[in-house]
Chains A and B, each alone.
Chain A
């Protein structure tokens, strides 16, 4: 699984209230949520992301609430993958359950600049930036099976079909 896009960069501790504020949680429509993605930091984010981008961020991306709308909003806004120095556990699962690849890469914010084009091998965790190859932690095992199936529910259905 290869994903490519230009980079939008954020710092440490991007929390779920930044990704999608609570007042929008009464809805699950991806297009509605996308318009409010990252609103407290950058109300124009969804316009910038619409061309298809990769987020690069610092530590514990997605910390805070369990709201799955955070992953849904980013994906619908045009985010094709997120590379972060670390992820909050719940967000990481939510991203995979919504088919949004998440790569853990120490020093990501130092190694990758805003605006550059990066290519990611989601399974190996390799991130290609110009001539550089950075080695991150890809998605493997059960998480990869769920991501490939398109989410946990699709995964469940596929297992039930096999059994």
Chain B
């Protein structure tokens, strides 16, 4: 048998036969997930088709995050409709408004190396952090997967990314994601899966990996997966108490191309409006006034993000409005126990947990006309966070936190 990449290994198992890039396959799915905003649409499609039965209730994960807590009656109605579905199907893996963001739930508690994971949300790529082949799909595709436990896929072309060295000061996963977006632009990886090899496993922690995988969809990659290693084992053991089985590509597996990033040479990066690939080094934008800062989302709402924000905000007061949202109850609780929440609250931030609200212009922090926002979330599309006339700058937690303190975009390396 020819040597195989991680993509080919995972999809060969899922298809029950040897597959190669370009093949159209039917793949078995290990986990199918949705949230409140897309979930009601998924169930509606199932209802219309009169196929209201899940293939395996234990393989469905549902979390309320986009409309959590419900900002209006329609949102409450949507959630009520899904709760009814959860009860009628007896789905055990259900997280109501009191837990957190679906993608965070998946990597904390469900995703394992080598799995195929589908969810009705584009940022499903996040589960690639632990080495799962994870894709977002629309309501109809997810409805079909919920009913059959299968989907059809085109096997993507695998592309290799190598991370070398230790991240420079204030450099995190966001800078790696923005580096790839800036260098390759938003369309390059269309039809490819990105497999990331970390040379020094423990130098690039799971929090950072989750951010990079999360933004795989911004690169328009079919999937972005970290090759499972010591860090993957450490993370899953710590979160769930067991050591996962590891699946890795063959040594001489073939990739369409490869690209190396030197972590020690990276500078803090920012994506300027209105495109995720409009990437600049932070000092090119220094001094831009900032009305609101958002630290959180499925991209950057993890413990390390709050640790960095707290380090920078300790003993200071924010000049910009600042909203900070840990991605899950677990992240919130740990940030609370470590004192990060206290520090952020003392600095004048609004802190809550478990909502996607501001990221998609839903609620809890909508951008007004003419405002500048620095956000650790994943997208800065026109109108994304509210007004079409607002400007969203994407950054990692260090740039966001220091910019909130200074009231303008600031290079964290001045600290």
A29, B202: Cα distance in complex, Å: 49
Count chain A CB atoms within 10 A of each CB in B46, B48, B152 and give the residue with the most. Answer: B152
Q: Is B229 an interface residue (CB 8 A)?
A: no
Task: State which of A22, A40, A89, A152 has its C-beta within 8 Å of the C-beta of B362.
Answer: A22
Q: Is A17 an interface residue (CB 8 A)?
A: yes
Select the stretch in B136-144, B159-167, B306-314, B320-328 that faces chain A.
B136-144
Interface string of A137-154 (1 = CB under 8 A from B): 000011000000001111
Q: Are B140 and A60 in contact (CB under 8 A)?
A: no
Q: Are B222 and A60 in contact (CB under 8 A)?
A: no
Interface string of B68-87 (1 = CB under 8 A from A): 00000011001000000000
Interface string of A80-99 (1 = CB under 8 A from B): 00000010111001100110
A22, B191: Cα distance in complex, Å: 26
Contact A88 B190, CB 8 Å, known A60-B220, A63-B220, A153-B45: yes
Q: Are B51 and A156 in contact (CB under 8 A)?
A: yes
Q: Is B32 an interface residue (CB 8 A)?
A: no
Q: Are B382 and A94 in contact (CB under 8 A)?
A: no
Q: Is B44 an interface residue (CB 8 A)?
A: yes
Q: Are B362 and A66 in contact (CB under 8 A)?
A: no
A93, B51: Cα distance in complex, Å: 20
Q: Are A89 and B383 in contact (CB under 8 A)?
A: no
Chain A residue at minimum C-beta to C-beta distance from B156: A89
Q: Are B381 and A17 in contact (CB under 8 A)?
A: yes
Complex interface residues of chain A between 3 and 31 (CB less than 8 A to chain B): 12-13, 15, 17-18, 21-23, 25-28
CB distance from B107 to the nearest CB of A (A): 18
Q: Are A156 and B148 in contact (CB under 8 A)?
A: yes
Task: State which of A60, A66, A89, A94 has its C-beta within 8 Å of the C-beta of B186.
Answer: A60
Q: Is B388 an interface residue (CB 8 A)?
A: yes
Complex interface residues of chain A between 26 and 84 (CB less than 8 A to chain B): 26-28, 40-41, 59-60, 63-69, 71
**Which residues in A have their C-beta under 8 angstroms from that of B381?**
15, 17-18, 64
A66, B67: Cα distance in complex, Å: 16
CB distance from B377 to the nearest CB of A (A): 12
Interface string of B38-57 (1 = CB under 8 A from A): 10010011101101000000
A49, B154: Cα distance in complex, Å: 32
A41, B218: Cα distance in complex, Å: 20
Q: Is B225 an interface residue (CB 8 A)?
A: no
Q: Are B361 and A88 in contact (CB under 8 A)?
A: no
**Which residues in A have their C-beta under 8 angstroms from that of B143?**
152-153
A66, B48: Cα distance in complex, Å: 20
Task: State which of A21, A22, A93 has its C-beta within 8 Å of the C-beta of B141.
Answer: A93
Task: State which of B46, B137, B152, B217 has its C-beta within 8 Å of the C-beta of A142.
Answer: B152
Q: Are B190 and A60 in contact (CB under 8 A)?
A: yes
Interface string of B90-126 (1 = CB under 8 A from A): 0000000000000000000000000000001110100
Q: Is B275 an interface residue (CB 8 A)?
A: yes
A46, B187: Cα distance in complex, Å: 27
Size of interface on B: residues with Cβ below 8 Å to A: 48
Q: Is B360 an interface residue (CB 8 A)?
A: yes
**Which residues in A have their C-beta under 8 angstroms from that of B51?**
153, 156-157
CB distance from A113 to the nearest CB of B (A): 23
A109, B378: Cα distance in complex, Å: 28
Q: Are B361 and A156 in contact (CB under 8 A)?
A: no
**Which residues in B have their C-beta under 8 angstroms from that of A69?**
41
CB distance from B33 to the nearest CB of A (A): 12
Task: State which of A22, A25, A97 has its C-beta within 8 Å of the C-beta of B140.
Answer: A97
Q: Are B48 and A153 in contact (CB under 8 A)?
A: yes
Q: Are A64 and B379 in contact (CB under 8 A)?
A: yes
Chain B residue at minimum C-beta to C-beta distance from A59: B187
A25, B384: Cα distance in complex, Å: 13
CB distance from B126 to the nearest CB of A (A): 13
Complex interface residues of chain A between 117 and 134 (CB less than 8 A to chain B): none
A26, B138: Cα distance in complex, Å: 15
Q: Is B37 an interface residue (CB 8 A)?
A: yes
Q: Are B383 and A21 in contact (CB under 8 A)?
A: yes
Q: Are B382 and A18 in contact (CB under 8 A)?
A: yes
Q: Is B24 an interface residue (CB 8 A)?
A: yes
Complex interface residues of chain B between 267 and 286 (CB less than 8 A to chain A): 275
CB distance from B25 to the nearest CB of A (A): 10
A131, B222: Cα distance in complex, Å: 37
Contact A17 B49, CB 8 Å, known A22-B361, A60-B220, A64-B379: no
Task: State which of A17, A141, A153 has its C-beta within 8 Å of the C-beta of B384.
Answer: A17
**Which residues in B have their C-beta under 8 angstroms from that of A151?**
140
A157, B217: Cα distance in complex, Å: 31
Query: 9 closest pairs, A vs B, by CB?
Result: A68-B138, A94-B138, A153-B49, A97-B140, A17-B381, A40-B383, A22-B360, A66-B136, A60-B187
In the assembled complex, 15 residue pairs joining A and B whose CB atoms fall closer than 8 Å, in A order, are A15-B381, A17-B360, A17-B382, A21-B361, A22-B360, A26-B74, A26-B78, A60-B220, A65-B121, A66-B38, A68-B139, A94-B141, A153-B45, A153-B144, A156-B148
Supply 16 further A-B pairs (C-beta < 8 A) apart from A40-B388, A94-B140, A153-B140: A17-B379, A17-B384, A21-B361, A26-B75, A27-B74, A41-B382, A65-B121, A65-B122, A65-B360, A66-B122, A66-B124, A66-B137, A97-B138, A97-B140, A153-B46, A156-B148
